[in-house]
Amino acid sequence: MRRRRFTGGKLVVASHNLGKVREIRELLAPFAAEVVSALDLNLAEPEETGDTFVTNAELKALAAAKTAGFPALADDSGLCIDALNGAPGIYSARWAGPSKDFGVAMGRIERVMTGKKNRRASFVCALALAWPDGYCETFEGKVTGLLSFPPRGTKGFGYDPIFIADGHSVTLAEMEPRAKHAISHRADAFQKLVAACF
Ligand code: IMP
């Protein structure tokens, strides 16, 4: 089956996470897309009932595309820690609690990692591009690295201050946005999306 391509015009980024929306806008900058966010359109946040990043990205993109009436791009992503069998994974946002305080979430990770020698982790990102008629494409990206405590850096968002990507010596939160975009899980998924649909 031939893949459907995004031919320009309005695209809603189906996220209420300002860090994600900012990064997706930066990644979309070279393309002819008139980007609006779920916040701009006051779209409701659907419940993330899927059990994988891909199914959650798909359900968010489909809900936004149907409500907005034009294509929607959704991101479901998270931090997967090897010593915790992939946790927090799809529950990465929930580990920050209702106040969405990632200082709290990173403190919780530091506590549960106490005494564990294996510090390996990865960030995973699923992107879903959906149209109002229910057609949807999904792509997954990943970056591997090591957890590092205490948190360092003020750029980026979420768990960036405790993650050092393989081949680097600073956390993602200490990197300039352009440098993060060269290696991140989101950029990896984005490259696959662009190759297939843009
Ligand atoms: P969700 O995809 O909305 O369920 O939330 C994903 C959560 O994973 C975010 O709230 C962040 O905590 C975390 N996350 C995803 N991508 C990144 C990233 O690029 N840097 C840091 N944390 C991230």
List, for residues 29-82, the tens digit of each pLDDT value.
Answer: 998 789 999 999 999 999 999 999 999 999 999 999 999 999 999 999 999 999
What is the full DSSP assignment across 171-193? -GGGS-HHHHHHH-HHHHHHHHH
List, for residues 4-36, the tens digit of each pLDDT value.
Answer: 999 999 999 999 999 999 999 999 999 878 999
Give me ligand 1 centre to Cα 182, in Å. Answer: 17
Q: Is residue 150 part of a domain?
A: yes
Q: Across residues 144-158, what is the average pLDDT? A: 97
Domain count of the chain? Answer: 1
Give me ligand 1 centre to Cα 174, in Å. Answer: 17
Give me ligand 1 centre to Cα 134, in Å. Answer: 25
pLDDT at 1: 61
Q: Across residues 133-151, what is the average pLDDT? A: 98
Q: Is residue 141 part of a domain?
A: yes
Q: Is residue 86 part of a domain?
A: yes
Distance from C-alpha of 100 to C-alpha of 23, rounded to nearest angstrom: 18
Q: Is residue 3 part of a domain?
A: no
Give the CATH number, domain containing residue 85.
Answer: 3.90.950.10
Q: Is residue 83 part of a domain?
A: yes
Q: Is residue 32 part of a domain?
A: yes
Distance from C-alpha of 122 to C-alpha of 163, rounded to nearest angstrom: 8
Name residue 121's beta-bridge partners. Answer: 81, 145
Q: Please give the residue that has the higher pLDDT: either 106 or 30.
A: 106
Token output for 6: 């995004």
By alpha-carbon position, which residue is closest to atom 14 of ligand 1? Answer: 78
Q: Is residue 1 part of a domain?
A: no
Q: Is residue 76 part of a domain?
A: yes
Q: What range does the domain containing 60 cover? A: 9-197
pTM of the model: 0.96
Tell me: pLDDT of 2 over 90.
no
What's the whole-number average pLDDT of the chain?
A: 96
By alpha-carbon position, which residue is closest to atom 8 of ligand 1? Answer: 78
Catalytic site includes residue 76? yes
User: Exactly one of 40, 51, 76, 166 is catalytic; which is it?
Assistant: 76
